[in-house]
């Protein structure tokens, strides 16, 4: 995919490739890496298999931050897990989203800035890498809480990497993109995160996303599921019809 599309950019509401053509990246997200006990997400052969058999173009490396065994408790291990996935993606010509998988990133801003500064220093020269510095803000304000955090993180990355795409999380578990659209972060090659789980998030969320797009906000669905928001753990319910509506909307 990277050989085909090259360096990505944002043009209006669209993600575009090096030729300026709109591009849609399809792929998978890891589980929180601190709970990826089988190591599949970090396995190069597994990533080859996904590229060949599932036509995966992008992998999202979801680095847990707060739980036991995650970044705050063991930063060297967590960083190495992420960097292993990044190195495999670069080697295999895939895009990779590096996700600071945190619901309270504002409380860990200093740690996030240090992590992304180092990541950008090591890998910002590669067109493969996209940054996602705040997975899912909770029900907090956009303009007074989330936006200032993003402004600081964007500045941190841009000090080292002037152009790779950064995807910014939005309030209420990355659902309230219309709030971000009313007061966006100033900068280039910025997109905004939209997450959905099809059994709970239906036409109302697409309507809000359409409002954000109409205001010129570029969106990237970095995480989704065809289940309830718990991943189907409680009742294993699959909402395939609603998931198909979401896929039609994304396409």
Structure tokens at 195: 């997450």
Which is the catalytic residue, given 113, 136, 179, 242? 136
Q: How far is the C-alpha of 213 from the C-alpha of 135, rounded, in Å?
A: 20
- ∠ CA 199-204-206, rounded to 5°: 90
- ∠ CA 188-28-104, rounded to 5°: 60
Transcribe 166-196 into DSSP letters.
EEE--HHHHT-HHHHHHSPPPSSSEEEEEEE
Give the residue among 5, 27, 3, 4 at the shortest CA–CA distance from 14: 5
Q: How far is the C-alpha of 9 from the C-alpha of 75, rounded, in Å?
A: 30
Please say if 80 is a catalytic residue.
no
Please say if 66 is a catalytic residue.
no
Which is the catalytic residue, given 223, 241, 242, 244? 223
Q: How far is the C-alpha of 19 from the C-alpha of 11, rounded, in Å?
A: 12
Give the residue numbers marked as catalytic: 136, 223
């Amino acid at each position: 995919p990277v050989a085909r599309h090259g360096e990505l950019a944002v043009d209006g509401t669209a993600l575009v490739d090096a030729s300026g053509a709109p591009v849609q990246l399809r792929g998978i997200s890891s589980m929180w890496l601190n709970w990826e006990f089988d190591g599949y997400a970090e396995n190069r052969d597994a990533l080859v298999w996904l590229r060949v058999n599932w036509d995966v173009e992008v992998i999202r490396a979801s680095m847990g931050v707060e739980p036991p065994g995650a970044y705050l408790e063991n930063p060297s291990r967590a960083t190495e897990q992420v960097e292993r996935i990044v190195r495999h993606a670069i080697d295999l010509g895939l895009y990779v989203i590096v996700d600071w998988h945190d619901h309270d990133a504002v409380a860990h801003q200093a740690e996030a800035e240090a992590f992304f500064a180092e990541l950008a220093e090591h890998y910002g020269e590669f067109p493969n890498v996209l940054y996602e510095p705040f997975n899912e803000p909770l029900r907090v304000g956009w303009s007074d809480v989330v936006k200032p955090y993003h402004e600081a993180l964007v500045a941190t990355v841009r000090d080292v990497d002037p152009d790779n795409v950064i995807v910014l999380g939005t309030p209420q578990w990355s659902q309230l993109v219309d709030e971000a659209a009313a007061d966006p972060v100033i900068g280039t090659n910025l997109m905004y995160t939209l997450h959905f789980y099809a059994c709970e998030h239906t036409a109302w969320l697409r309507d809000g996303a359409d409002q954000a797009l109409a205001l010129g906000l570029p969106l990237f669905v970095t995480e989704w599921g065809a289940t309830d928001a718990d991943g189907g753990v409680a009742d294993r319910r699959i909402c395939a019809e609603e998931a198909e509506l979401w896929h039609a909307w994304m396409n």
